[in-house]
Amino acid sequence: MGGATRKAIEAVWRIESARLIGGLARMVRDVGLAEDLAQDALVAALERWPSAGIPENPGAWLMAAAKNRAIDQLRRRRMLDRKHRELESQLAAGGAPPAPDLEASLDADVGDDLLRLVLIACHPVLSTDARVALTLRLLGGLATEEIARAFLVPESTIAQRIVRAKRTLTEARVPFEAPRGAELSARLASVLEVIYLIFNEGYAATSGDDWMRPALCEDALRLGRILAELAPQEAEVHGLVALMEIHASRARARVGPSGEPILLLDQDRSRWDGILVRRGLAALARAEALKRPLGPYALQAAIAACHARARTAGETDWVGIVALYDALVELTRSPVVELNRAVAVAMAFGPAAGLELVDGLVKEPALRAYHLLPSVRGDLLARLGRAGEARVEFERAALMANNTRERELLLARAKACR
């Protein structure tokens, strides 16, 4: 097979696989079986398309191939189920029962197949790790090897997570109907959490040698945009999309020529992607039009928008950002959010005011192993001229950091304090 043809088929699969699996899951009521059928269709495409050419509507071709395979399997299953009672059924009915119209049952109204698949893959019955792996597999179209590489874990670990996730969904008898109203809003929280986790791991990798993993950001953004189309009346969906669009706009400016991290206030803002900024601000406007007060994702997007609207770091509306963090702390009661608020307070009202807030978080159990607590404290101490104390904090943060690039940055800042 030519390289160009294989790449074209892989591109089609990445685009069409989620809708294909979603439609098949509705038909066969089993996510694992649906993925197997979709994979069978992909194998058929790999066998036939190189010689026959890629069809005009590749998605429809894949669905037809998978449906034919599903019909064969359903017929075989029903035949086996009826085998021991066939004679009794015929006698009771006065003849042979009519054959079920399997093709008609597989052509039922598609409805919200993709939304249904999103909600199943991110079902709260699964662990967070399982939800992330299954979402990237079913909705991101990523191979097990790609997911493992992105999260720097063994391929066997990801494979086990996916297998266990499918088994858990089957054993829990998770319904395949998309919930509505208040139940949909509750389930969406799990979906948004998963997409946000995927994006954050791409935006600021927790471990490994790279500061960013752009492919994960792109996958999360694509999933978020799809979800915004499927749930257009959900303000927090638009809030999360806005947050990701604006953060993604900084990608080129966040990494230096040698892969070193460049922090927000030091970035060349002319390198920010204006198209992504505008998309993010538009998504935030949609969230604001749908709901007031704003939810956690929309509030974070509003904070990101304050940075995006500032032409230089010096023009940033830090007082406005503090007010937004006040609302976010009220909503989340998160120590991490309180630490971020302390940074904003330091920028708005001086490092001493920020340090006072940070010192109040030092004994917070949730931040005990969080490397950004000593990192922030070191930064504020350095700005107050307390270089020796700052160096100790930066070195402590470096010992706690798992990302190689971030560790190097922290050690460099510690060295600058000598």
Average pLDDT over residues 208-217: 81
The one-letter code for the residue type at 238 is H
CA 117 → CA 43, 218, 327, distances in Å? 22, 19, 33
Instruction: Answer whether residue 280 shows pLDDT above 90.
Output: yes
Structure tokens at 362: 């030092």
CB 339 within 8 A of CB 367: yes
Instruction: Answer whether residue 211 shows pLDDT above 50.
Output: yes
What pLDDT does residue 187 have? 80
Instruction: Answer whether residue 373 shows pLDDT above 90.
Output: yes
- CA dist 152 and 402 (Å) reads 12
What pLDDT does residue 95 have? 42
Mean per-residue pLDDT over the chain, rounded:
86
- Sign of dihedral through CA atoms 209, 211, 217, 220? positive
Q: How many CB atoms lie within 10 A of CB 74?
A: 16
Q: What is the 3-state secondary structure (H, E, C) of 136-173?
A: HHHCCCCCHHHHHHHHCCCHHHHHHHHHHHHHHHHHCC
**Residue 61 pairs with which residues in a beta bridge?**
none
DSSP at 99:
P
Instruction: Give the residue, 300 or 137, on which the prediction is more confident.
Output: 300
Instruction: Answer whether residue 325 shows pLDDT above 80.
Output: yes
| DSSP string of 345-396, one letter each residue | HHHHH-HHHHHHHHHTTTT-GGGTT-THHHHHHHHHHHHTT-HHHHHHHHHH
Average pLDDT over residues 167-184: 80
Q: Which residues have C-beta within 8 Å of that of residue 275, sequence separation ≥ 6?
A: 249
pLDDT (tens digit per residue) in 107-118: 443 346 887 888
- CA dist 49 and 384 (Å) reads 66
Instruction: Answer whether residue 85 shows pLDDT above 80.
Output: no
Structure tokens at 57: 């509507």
CATH number of 3-77: 1.10.1740
- CA dist 309 and 352 (Å) reads 27
Average pLDDT over residues 199-225: 84
Give the start-to-end residue ranges of the domains of the chain.
3-77
pLDDT (tens digit per residue) in 219-256: 889 889 988 988 899 999 999 999 999 999 999 999 99
DSSP at 250:
T
Instruction: Answer whether residue 86 shows pLDDT above 80.
Output: no
Instruction: Answer whether residue 92 shows pLDDT above 80.
Output: no
Instruction: Give the residue, 104 or 190, on which the prediction is more confident.
Output: 190
- CA dist 321 and 345 (Å) reads 9
What pLDDT does residue 100 have? 39
Instruction: Give the residue, 340 or 258, on which the prediction is more confident.
Output: 340
pLDDT (tens digit per residue) in 8-28: 888 888 778 888 898 888 888
Buried b (16+ CB within 10 A) or exposed e, 228-238: bebbeebbbbb
What pLDDT does residue 2 have? 66
pTM for this prediction: 0.78
DSSP at 96:
P
What band does 418 get if pLDDT is binned at 50, 70 and 90?
confident
Structure tokens at 367: 């931040």
Long-range contacts, 36-40 (Cβ 8 Å, 24+) = 37/66, 37/69, 37/70, 37/73, 38/62, 38/66, 40/65, 40/66, 40/69
Instruction: Answer whether residue 151 shows pLDDT above 60.
Output: yes
Of 86-100, 169-183, 345-359, the one with minimum mean pLDDT is 86-100
CB 373 within 8 A of CB 344: no
Average pLDDT over residues 390-396: 97
What pLDDT does residue 89 have? 55
What band does 81 get if pLDDT is binned at 50, 70 and 90?
low
Instruction: Answer whether residue 3 shows pLDDT above 80.
Output: no
Instruction: Answer whether residue 328 shows pLDDT above 90.
Output: yes
- DSSP-derived 3-state class of residue 261: strand
Kindly tell me the burial class for residue 327, based on how many C-beta atoms sit within 10 Å of its own C-beta (0-12, 13-18, 19 or more).
Answer: middle
pLDDT (tens digit per residue) in 343-367: 999 999 999 999 999 999 999 998 9
What pLDDT does residue 105 have? 39
Instruction: Answer whether residue 87 shows pLDDT above 80.
Output: no
| DSSP string of 320-356, one letter each residue | HHHHHHHHHHHHH--HHHHHHHHHHHHHHH-HHHHHH
